[in-house]
Amino acid sequence: MIRYNVLWIDDEYKKLTSVISDAEMDDIILTPYSTSKEGIKAFEEDIYKWDAIILDAKGWNESSDEVATTEGMHNSLDKIAELRYKRVVPVFIFSGQGDLYDDEEFKRSLRGKKLYKKGNKADQAQLFQDIKTEANKLDETQIRFKYADVIETFSEIKYELINVIKRIYNNITDDKEVFTPIRKILEWVMTYCNKSGVLPIQFNGTNLAECSKFMGNNTMQEFVPVHVQRSFHSCVEIANNGSHRLAIDTIVGAGSAPYLIRSTVFELLNIIYWCKTLPTSENEIKNLRQKTSVFMSTEGSEEIIGLIEQDENRNYHCKDCLLKYNEMHPEDIGKKIKISKHSPNTNERTKELYHFFITRKDIEFL
């Protein structure tokens, strides 16, 4: 069940446990803080978590040593307004201060926000209804509900996923900045796959292509469905290229591939959805790791067959192998070769795109 996450700042929330339980019965999870300082800190630190904010009209600003005044509420409103460039969420005022209900000056200070009365069941019910109505207008809330089958599974990447999905949700087709967060999520996925036993290679921050290549090996189809293998290959290839300002970055920024962001995000969701099937118990992980480890090949000895290509930076390569530049010739492009030996690519500029390095003597033209 998907529930609404609401931040509640109220100095007397401990006396209002019935409000918390009533909200939960209405699919609203209230997370309370007693001071404006604590509540705003929680909002700023996890700004995409919240669907709404409730403020008490009178409360504490920074500590419980203070006399409860409207300063805490106004300070919260100011801080929330300052953070609008990051995130806009609906704000509601919930008060038990009867002397404020008819105070016109106070009402003007609420900046158009309605005042709901504590202890009034009808007002409380209306508050909960209004929270859901306004929260449902937020892109983040709509995305969280629509894609709950992937977003709600892994809390570690929940808000990163929401941010990425926002591009396709708003039909943004030329935002080349999206590929870096996609790559970050893929890095998390590789670490998760290693912990789950399906990927015996440990992700070290630079070997994303190597991990993807292993997951896409034909011998791994018993453990990784072919559609997921293809998603890994496509996602990693596009994200690596796009996040390093190579050809994909230019193509997307120019609007020449209007569906590429959408297809890449959906490939990513395919992978995340499949990750839910991976084992979590210690014994299952151990058994799976034993089965997949046998497919580990000795680095440098695996035979590779493919075509010589040249990227937009004029690097000669075959798949994820970088060929020594001064040993290659333009007429070699497009020729089919067999690579019998390769070594790790240690060049900082190219090693994330091309994991291996080869010289001309290591290849055979076919």
Q: Is residue 324 part of a domain?
A: yes
* Amino acid 191: pLDDT: 96
Does residue 356 carry a pLDDT above 90? no
**Residue 56 sits in the same domain as residue 119:** yes
What is the share, in percent, of the chain residues with pLDDT greater than 70? 94
Domain count, the chain: 3
Does residue 298 carry a pLDDT above 60? no
**Residue 191 sits in the same domain as residue 282:** yes
Q: Is residue 322 part of a domain?
A: yes
CATH number at 58 reads 3.40.50.2300
**Residue 113 sits in the same domain as residue 40:** yes
The string of pLDDT tens digits covering residues 118-149 is: 888 999 999 999 999 999 999 999 999 999 99
Does residue 362 carry a pLDDT above 90? no
Backbone angles phi, psi at 73, to 5 degrees: -65, -45
In total, the chain counts a number of residues equal to 366
Does residue 301 carry a pLDDT above 50? no
The stretch 335-349 carries a mean pLDDT of 83
Domain boundary among 137, 164, 187: 137
CA neighbor of 8 nearest in space, from 67, 88, 95: 95
Domain boundary among 137, 167, 185: 137
Q: Are 79 and 47 in contact (CB under 8 A)?
A: no
Does residue 207 carry a pLDDT above 80? yes
Does residue 184 carry a pLDDT above 90? yes
pLDDT band for 302, please (50, 70, 90 cuts).
low
Q: Which two tokens stand for residue 277?
A: 């099937």
Q: Are 90 and 133 in contact (CB under 8 A)?
A: no
The stretch 70-81 carries a mean pLDDT of 90
**Residue 191 sits in the same domain as residue 249:** yes
CA gap 174, 242 in Å, rounded: 12
Cβ neighbours for 194, distance < 8 A, ≥ 6 positions apart = 200, 201, 202, 203
* Amino acid 142: pLDDT: 93
**Residue 237 sits in the same domain as residue 152:** yes
- Quickly list H helices, the chain: 17-25, 36-45, 71-82, 104-109, 121-135, 139-146, 148-151, 158-169, 179-196, 208-215, 226-243, 247-253, 260-275, 282-293
Q: Is residue 298 part of a domain?
A: no
pLDDT band for 244, please (50, 70, 90 cuts).
low
**Residue 151 sits in the same domain as residue 133:** no
The amino acid present at 316, given as its one-letter code, is Y
Q: Are 40 and 70 in contact (CB under 8 A)?
A: no
pLDDT band for 246, please (50, 70, 90 cuts).
low
CA gap 233, 43 in Å, rounded: 37
Q: Which two tokens stand for residue 58?
A: 């009178």
* Amino acid 102: pLDDT: 66
Domain range holding 285?
Answer: 147-293
Lowest mean pLDDT among 31-40, 90-99, 182-191: 90-99
Q: Is residue 259 part of a domain?
A: yes
**Residue 200 sits in the same domain as residue 274:** yes
The string of pLDDT tens digits covering residues 10-67 is: 999 999 999 999 999 999 999 999 999 999 999 999 888 899 999 998 888 888 788 8
* Amino acid 299: pLDDT: 44
In this prediction the pTM is 0.71
DSSP 166-231: HHHHTT----GGGHHHHHHHHHHHHHHHHHHTS--SPP-SS-HHHHHHHHT-GGGTTTS-HHHHHH
Q: Is residue 262 part of a domain?
A: yes
Q: Is residue 299 part of a domain?
A: no
The larger pLDDT score, comparing residue 246 to residue 247, is at 247
The larger pLDDT score, comparing residue 197 to residue 356, is at 197
CA neighbor of 192 nearest in space, from 226, 163, 153: 153
**Residue 310 sits in the same domain as residue 231:** no
CA gap 75, 38 in Å, rounded: 12
The stretch 291-301 carries a mean pLDDT of 64
Alpha-carbon dihedral of residues 95, 97, 101, 103, nearest 10 degrees? -120
The residue whose two tokens read 């033209």 is 365
**Residue 188 sits in the same domain as residue 263:** yes
**Residue 350 sits in the same domain as residue 288:** no
* Amino acid 206: pLDDT: 81
Give the CA radius of gyration of the chain: 27
**Residue 99 sits in the same domain as residue 237:** no
Domain boundary among 270, 293, 316: 293
What is the overall mean pLDDT for the chain? 88
pLDDT band for 104, please (50, 70, 90 cuts).
low
The larger pLDDT score, comparing residue 230 to residue 57, is at 230
* Amino acid 58: pLDDT: 83
Q: Is residue 278 part of a domain?
A: yes
What secondary structure letter does DSSP report for 360? G
CA gap 209, 207 in Å, rounded: 5
Q: Are 35 and 69 in contact (CB under 8 A)?
A: no
Lowest mean pLDDT among 161-175, 198-212, 341-355: 341-355
Q: Is residue 142 part of a domain?
A: no
**Residue 99 sits in the same domain as residue 120:** yes
